[in-house]
């Protein structure tokens, strides 16, 4: 988009039209997080890459950005959603047979090609595991022995995807779990993902980090201590995304429109901007 003239001549109708998808499964992950499986009612959206997101319409309520958690060869798409407000609560409250509208896929993806053949550490905090799930699947399929996954949650009951965590471990990936507060029966680590990274002191060549912003900031700095160059660290940033195509400007961070230039961005491109925002 070079000029205002382009703005008026570029067709934007298609990415703004929701495509109907029907809920075929609803799986409760935690008290307020649910994974929906959706199948296109007619033609589906284009193929989705790990880290990309969709705009999800709960008709009559609103539209919100939600990361693609997994896609299936059947064309189904899985979305993991936490009920925090009106629209996310409506999405989580859908039942089998209900229809949602999806737009997308939008945004950048985790750089899987660059990660191939390298020692990768994936760091996820809370719901941050959802946009990383397909990336971990892909790396496990390729070479699990070169993959470390560090997952943090507030408590054991908040840990997502227990089946996947077991499967990735069984396949040979090093999966480290930690919780902020231990319940009776928890025998794993207690503390932050950053503390786990510092304690393990593993060496890595590349890192994908997703979770609350403070966790990503300290996590990215910790993986630098594990030998990863800042240009090889990628984070996923959440902002107030509305159009998904870089037109409305609600998601601006410095020179970037994160709905289009993110959500997955290189750490060294945003570190300074995030410091400014935090002051
Ligand atoms: C690229 C991207 C991917 C996302 N992926 C997921 C996902 O996979 N699963 C999921 O559950 N959520 C995801 N989110 C967050 C989700 O979009 C928000 O929770 C949702 O927009 C809240 O809308 P609401 O109408 O339900 O609540 P609102 O009434 O809009 O907000 C309720 C509360 O949530 C906070 N909130 C709203 N939007 C965001 C946001 N973008 N980030 C952080 N806090 C927010 C508000 O400040 C408020 O405190 C993603 C956001 C982005 C930008």
Instruction: Give the three-class secondary structure for 123.
Output: strand
Is 176's pLDDT higher than 60? yes
**Measured distance CA(129)–CA(161) in Å, rounded:** 9
Counting beta carbons within 10 angstroms of the beta carbon of residue 145, is it exposed (0 to 12), middle (13 to 18) or buried (19 or more)?
exposed
Tokens (6 digits) for 223: 């993986």
Q: Which of 15-24, 56-65, 235-244 has the highest mean pLDDT?
A: 56-65
pLDDT at 238 (0 to 100): 79
CA of 28 to the centre of ligand 1 (A): 18
User: What pLDDT is recorded for position 12?
Assistant: 43
Pocket test for ligand 1, best of 49, 63, 81, 84 (most atoms within 8 A of CB): 84
What are the helix (H) ranges across the chain? 4-9, 13-16, 86-92, 112-115, 133-142, 162-171, 193-200, 213-225, 258-261, 267-278
Q: Which residues line ligand 1 (CB under 6 A)?
A: 53, 62, 64-67, 80-82, 84-88, 127, 130, 238-239, 241, 263
**215 CA to centre of own chain:** 14
Which residue's structure tokens are 């946009």? 131
pLDDT of residue 210: 95
pLDDT band at 243 (very low <50, low <70, confident <90, very high): confident
Rounded CA separation 6/10 (Å): 6
Among 46-60, 96-110, 244-258, name the one with the lowest average pLDDT.
244-258
Q: Show the tokens assigned to 205.
A: 């060549």
Position 16 scores a pLDDT of 81
The conformation of residue 46, written as its DSSP 8-state character, comes to: P
Compute the distance from residue 241 Cα to the ligand 1 centre, in Å: 9
- Contacts with 222 (C-beta within 8 Å, 6 or more apart), sequence order: 194, 197, 198
Tens-place pLDDT, residues 39-78: 999 999 999 999 999 999 999 999 999 999 999 999 999 9
Counting atoms of ligand 1 from 1, which one is nearest the CA of 107? 1
Size (the chain), residues: 279
| Contacts of residue 187, Cβ cutoff 8 Å, sequence gap at least 6 | none
- Strands 70-71, 256-257: pairing is unpaired
Q: Which atom of ligand 1 is nearest to the CA of 89?
A: 26
Going along the chain from its start, the domains and CATH numbers come out as 4-105 (2.40.30.10), 112-278 (3.40.50.80)
21 by DSSP, 3-state: which? Answer: strand
Going by CA atoms, what residue is nearest to atom 25 of ligand 1? 87
Atom in ligand 1 nearest the alpha carbon of residue 61: 25
What is the model's pLDDT at position 160?
96
Beta-bridge mates of residue 23: 38
Euclidean distance between CA atoms 210 and 264, whole angstroms: 9
- Of 19, 36, 182, 158, whose CA–CA distance to 96 is shortest? 36
Q: At what angle do helices 193-200 and 213-225 cross, to 10 degrees?
A: 10
Residue 75 CA, ligand 1 centroid: distance in Å: 25
């Amino acid at each position: 988009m070079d000029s205002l003239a382009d703005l008026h001549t570029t067709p934007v109708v298609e990415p703004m039209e929701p495509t109907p998808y029907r809920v075929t499964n609803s799986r409760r992950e935690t008290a307020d997080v649910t994974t929906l499986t959706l199948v296109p009612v007619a033609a589906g959206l284009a193929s989705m890459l790990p880290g990309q997101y969709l705009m999800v319409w709960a008709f009559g309520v609103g539209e919100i950005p939600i990361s693609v958690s997994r896609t299936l060869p059947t064309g189904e798409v899985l979305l993991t959603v936490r009920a925090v407000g009106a629209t996310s609560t409506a999405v989580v409250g859908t039942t089998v047979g209900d229809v949602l509208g999806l737009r997308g896929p939008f945004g950048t993806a985790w750089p899987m090609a660059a990660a191939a053949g390298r020692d990768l550490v994936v760091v996820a905090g809370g719901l941050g595991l959802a946009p990383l799930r397909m990336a971990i699947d892909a790396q496990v399929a390729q070479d699990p022995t070169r993959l470390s996954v560090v997952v943090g949650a507030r408590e054991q009951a908040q840990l997502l995807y227990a089946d996947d965590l077991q499967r990735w471990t069984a396949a040979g990936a090093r999966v480290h779990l930690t919780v902020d507060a231990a319940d009776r029966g928890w025998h794993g680590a207690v503390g932050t993902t950053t503390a786990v990274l510092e304690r393990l002191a593993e060496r890595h060549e590349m890192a994908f980090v997703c979770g609350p912003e403070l966790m990503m900031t300290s996590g990215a700095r910790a993986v630098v201590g594990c030998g990863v160059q800042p240009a090889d660290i990628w984070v996923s940033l959440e902002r107030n995304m509305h159009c998904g195509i870089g037109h409305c400007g609600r998601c601006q961070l410095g020179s970037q429109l994160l709905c289009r230039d993110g959500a997955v961005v290189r750490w060294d491109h945003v570190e300074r901007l995030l410091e400014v925002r935090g002051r």
